[in-house]
Amino acid sequence: MNDFESARDEFKALKNMVYLNWAGLGPLPSSAKIAVEELLKNIYEWDNQYVSEAISSLQDGAKGQIAKLLNTSPDQIAITGTNTTQGIQTAFEAIRPKSGESIVTSDMQYVLTEAELQKWRDRGVDIKVVKNRDGVYDLNDFQRAVDKTTRAVFVDSVTWINGYKFDVPELSKIAHENNAFMITDSIQHLGQAKMDVEKSGADLVAGSAQKWLSDWLGLGFLYVRRKVIEELERPYYGYKNTEEPDGGWHTYFTLTDREQFPEFKFYSSDARKFEYGGSLYNMPGLTALEKTLKLINGIGMDRVQRRVLELKHELLEGLEALDFEVLEPYEEKHQSGITTFRMGVGRKKEMEVVEKLNSTGYAISYRAGGGLYGIRVSTHYVNNSDDIQSLLGALKSLRAKAGVKRN
C-alpha cells in the first residue's frame, strides 16, 4: 500500500460510500477515533495522572501539528473554540475597526462571517465588497477598493462556492501597502491546499477542523503573525490568556489572603493573548485533530495538494466529456479540491440529482453565492479514481433520466 492508500484505509466512511463532501464536513479516521475513545475511557475511569496532564499535552500536541501544517511556530497559534466563526470574530475584535474606516472583502464570503461584518457596519465601518467575474477575482478590483481608510482586507482564501483560491501573498501586498491587515478565513483551504503562512503575508488566518482536516468534533484556531501580536487588542480576558501567578494556579487557589481584584498579568507577546474562556478546551476535538493532522503532515502538504489536484483534474475531464458547465478558475494556481458545475438540466433538477445521489451513497452538495450556483464536489487526498469514475457514471445516468441525452 502506498501512503495515500494506507491513509484511505483509515476512513470507514470511504468504505461505506463515495465521500466527496470534504468542503461540507470531514469524517474521522480510525487513529482519531481510537485516541478519542482512549480519552473518554480515561475521563470515565478518572485516571488522575492522565487527566491532569491532558490539558497541556493535548493542547501542545494539536498546536504543534497545526503549526506544522501552516509552516509556522506554535506560539503564533491560538485555539479559538470549536469553529471558524469564533476565530474570525476574535480577529475582528483584535483589529477593532473604527467608525469611518473600511473593510474590503469579496462577494463569495461564507454567509455567517457576513454576520460579523454586519456588526462592524452597524458601528459605522464601511464594508466594501469586491465582485467576482464569472467565478474569478481580479486583483485590480481589490487594488481599487483598498485605500487609506482600509483597516483590513478579508477573504475566504479558498471560496466555499466554487473553490477559487486567492493569491494571498499578492492580496497581502495590496493590504500592507495601505497599512491594512490581511485576514483570511481558510477553513476551505487548510489541509487540501498548501498555505505557508509566513510567506503568505497574512496577519490573521482562521481555520477549523471539521472539513478538510477531517475532525468533525470541532476545533477552531487562529494564526496571528508575531509582528502584529503586541499592537492588536486583547479581545477577551480569562483563564486562558492570564499568566499563572507566582507558585501556579493551584497554590493561588488555596491562598486565604488573596486579593479580590489583583493586578492580573496577561499574555501579550504570543497568540495565547487571543484565547478565551476557562481552563478546558474541546478535549475530544484536540485529541482527534492531532491524529488527523499527523496523517496529513506525515504525507506532507506538497504531495497532498498534488494528489487533490490530480483527482480534481480527472473529475474535470469527465465533466467536460459530459459537456457540463464547470464554474471553475481554469488557471491552476487558483484551483483547489472544490469543483462546482451545472448539468444543463436547470437548478431544480440539479438539486433533485444531488438529493438522489445523497440518498444512494454519494456525499456531495449544492451551493449558491456571488451570483454562482451548482453542484459542489470536493476531492481530498484519500479519495481515488474509483470514487471519481463512480460519481461520473451516476451523473451520466441521472442526466439521462432527467431527460437530456447527450454523449
Ligand X SMILES: Cc1ncc(COP(=O)(O)O)c(C=O)c1O
Q: Report which of 195, 106, 85 is spatially closest to residue 152, judged by C-alpha positions.
A: 106
> In the structure grid, which three cell numbers stand for residue 34, read together?
481510537
CA 285 vs CA 59, 164, 208, 248: distances in Å: 10, 28, 10, 26
For CA atoms 243, 247, 250, 253, give the dihedral sign: negative
Instruction: Select 85 or 105, whichever has its Cβ closest to ligand X.
Output: 85
In the complex, what is the shortest distance from the CB of residue 211 to ligand X, in angstroms, rounded to a whole number?
A: 7
In the complex, what is the shortest distance from the CB of residue 291 to ligand X, in angstroms, rounded to a whole number?
A: 20
In the complex, what is the shortest distance from the CB of residue 85 to ligand X, in angstroms, rounded to a whole number?
A: 3
If phi > 0 it is left, if psi is from -120 to 50 it is alpha, else beta; for residue 266 that is beta
> In the structure grid, which three cell numbers stand for residue 348, read together?
431544480
Instruction: Select 115 or 404, whichever has its Cβ closest to ligand X.
Output: 115
- b or e along 232-254 (b: 16 or more beta carbons within 10 Å of the residue's beta carbon)? beebbeeebbeeeeeeeeeeeee
Q: How far is CA 168 from the centre of its chain?
A: 15
In 300-370, alpha helices (H): 301-321, 347-358
Instruction: Select 112 or 255, whichever has its Cβ closest to ligand X.
Output: 112
Alpha-carbon distance 188 to 199, whole Å? 19
In the complex, what is the shortest distance from the CB of residue 185 to ligand X, in angstroms, rounded to a whole number?
A: 5
In 246-321, alpha helices (H): 248-252, 283-299, 301-321
In the complex, what is the shortest distance from the CB of residue 162 to ligand X, in angstroms, rounded to a whole number?
A: 12
Beta strand 126-130 pairing with 102-106: parallel
In the complex, what is the shortest distance from the CB of residue 366 to ligand X, in angstroms, rounded to a whole number?
A: 13
Binding site for ligand X (CB under 6 A): 83-85, 110, 112, 156, 160, 185, 187-188, 208
Instruction: Select 54 or 69, whichever has its Cβ closest to ligand X.
Output: 69
Instruction: Select 200 or 208, whichever has its Cβ closest to ligand X.
Output: 208
Alpha-carbon distance 401 to 399, whole Å? 5
> In the structure grid, which three cell numbers stand for residue 261, read together?
481584584
For CA atoms 297, 336, 194, 91, give the dihedral sign: negative
Q: Which single residue is written with the C-alpha cell 509566513? A: 198
In the complex, what is the shortest distance from the CB of residue 386 to ligand X, in angstroms, rounded to a whole number?
A: 27
In the complex, what is the shortest distance from the CB of residue 184 to ligand X, in angstroms, rounded to a whole number?
A: 10
Q: Which single residue is written with the C-alpha cell 486583547? A: 234
Residues pairing with 106 in the sheet: 130
Alpha-carbon distance 281 to 51, whole Å? 13
Instruction: Select 372 or 392, whichever has its Cβ closest to ligand X.
Output: 372
Instruction: Select 54 or 157, whichever has its Cβ closest to ligand X.
Output: 157
> In the structure grid, which three cell numbers stand for residue 364, read together?
456531495
Alpha-carbon distance 117 to 92, whole Å? 9
In the complex, what is the shortest distance from the CB of residue 357 to ligand X, in angstroms, rounded to a whole number?
A: 19
Instruction: Select 157 or 305, whichever has its Cβ closest to ligand X.
Output: 157
Instruction: Select 114 or 317, whichever has its Cβ closest to ligand X.
Output: 114
Residues pairing with 128 in the sheet: 104
In the complex, what is the shortest distance from the CB of residue 21 to ligand X, in angstroms, rounded to a whole number?
A: 11
Instruction: Select 152 or 398, whichever has its Cβ closest to ligand X.
Output: 152
